[in-house]
Structure 1
Amino acid sequence: MQQQPNFISNYDKAKVLVTALPYIQKYYGKTIVVKYGGNAMISEELKDAVMSDIVLLTLVGIHVVLVHGGGPEISDTLKKMGKESKFVGGLRYTDEETMEVVQMVLAGKVNKDLAQRIAGHGGRAIGLCGLDGAMITAEKKQGMDLGLVGEITKVDVSVIQDALDKKYIPVVATVAAGEHGESYNINADIAASRIAAELKAEKLILMTDIPGLMRDVYDESTLIPVVQVSEVNSLKRDNIISGGMIPKIDCCVDAVRRGVNRAHIIDGRVPHSILIEVLSDEGIGTMFL
Structure 2
Amino acid sequence: MTAENSPPNLVAHVLIEALPYIRRFHSRTVVVKYGGNAMIDETLKQSFARDIVLMKLVGINPIIVHGGGPQIGSLLKKIGKESEFIQGMRVTDAETMDVVEMVLGGLVNKEIVNLINTHGGRAVGLSGKDGGLIRAQRLQLTRPGPAEQAPEIIDIGHVGEVTGMDSALLTLLDGADFIPVVAPIGVDENGTSYNINADLVAGHLAQTLGAEKLILMTNTAGILDTQGNLLTGLDEAQVRALINDGTLHGGMLPKVECALQAVRNGVKAATIIDGRVPHAVLLELFTDSGVGTLIHNGADRSSSP
Shorter-chain TM band: over 0.9
Q: Which residue of 1 aligns with 2:174?
A: 164
Identify the match of residue 256 of structure 2 among 245, 249, 255.
249
Report which stretch shifted further, 247-256 or 80-89.
80-89
Shift of 1:229: 1.5
- In the alignment of these two chains, the number of paired residues is 282
Q: Which residue of 2 aligns with 1:189?
A: 199
Shift of 1:230: 2.6
CA distance in structure 1 between the aligned counterparts of 2:158 and 2:38, rounded to whole angstroms: 27
Q: Which residue of 2 aligns with 1:53?
A: 51
Q: Which residue of 1 aligns with 2:291?
A: 284
Shift of 1:9: 2.1
Q: Which residue of 1 aligns with 2:268?
A: 261
Alignment of 1:210-225 (within 5 A): 210-216=220-226, 219-220=227-228, 222-225=229-232
CA distance in structure 2 between the aligned counterparts of 1:36 and 1:59, rounded to whole angstroms: 19
Query: Normalised by the size of structure 2, how large is the TM-score?
Result: 0.90
Matched, 1:202 2:212: yes
CA distance in structure 1 between the aligned counterparts of 2:24 and 2:240, rounded to whole angstroms: 31
Shift of 1:159: 0.9
Residue type at the aligned position of 1:148: H
Shift of 1:87: 1.0
Shift of 1:234: 2.0
Alignment of 1:81-120 (within 5 A): 81-120=79-118
Query: Normalised by the size of structure 1, how large is the TM-score?
Result: 0.95
Deviations 1:234-282 (A, max 9, x none): 2211011111111100000010011000000000000011111000011
- Percent identical among aligned pairs is 49
Q: Which residue of 2 aligns with 1:270?
A: 277
CA distance in structure 1 between the aligned counterparts of 2:6 and 2:191, rounded to whole angstroms: 56
Give the secondary structure class of the aligned counterpart of 2:5.
Answer: coil
Residue type at the aligned position of 1:209: N
Identify the match of residue 230 of structure 1 among 237, 245, 250.
237
Deviations 1:97-139 (A, max 9, x none): 0000001110111111100100110000000110001110111
Q: Which residue of 1 aligns with 2:303?
A: none
Give every structure 1 segment of 4 or more consecutive aligned residues whose post-TM-superposition deviation is greater than 6 Å.
none
Residue type at the aligned position of 1:159: L
CA distance in structure 1 between the aligned counterparts of 2:287 and 2:91, rounded to whole angstroms: 41
CA distance in structure 2 between the aligned counterparts of 1:82 and 1:198, rounded to whole angstroms: 39
Residue type at the aligned position of 1:260: V
Deviations 1:51-102 (A, max 9, x none): 1000011100011000000011111111111111111122111110000000
Q: Which residue of 2 aligns with 1:78?
A: 76
Shift of 1:173: 0.2
Q: Which residue of 1 aligns with 2:66?
A: 68
Deviations 1:142-195 (A, max 9, x none): 123221100111111111111101100000000000221110000000000000
Residue type at the aligned position of 1:110: V
Give the secondary structure class of the aligned counterpart of 1:179.
Answer: coil
Can you give the 5+ residue segments of structure 2 that lack an aligned partner in the other structure?
A: 142-153, 297-305
CA distance in structure 1 between the aligned counterparts of 2:121 and 2:191, rounded to whole angstroms: 34
CA distance in structure 1 between the aligned counterparts of 2:56 and 2:117, rounded to whole angstroms: 12
Give the secondary structure class of the aligned counterpart of 1:35.
Answer: strand
Deviations 1:196-220 (A, max 9, x none): 000100000000000001112xx54
Identify the match of residue 42 of structure 1 among 40, 43, 47.
40
User: What RMSD over aligned residues (CA atoms) do the two structures have, in Å?
Assistant: 1.3
CA distance in structure 2 between the aligned counterparts of 1:230 and 1:202, rounded to whole angstroms: 21
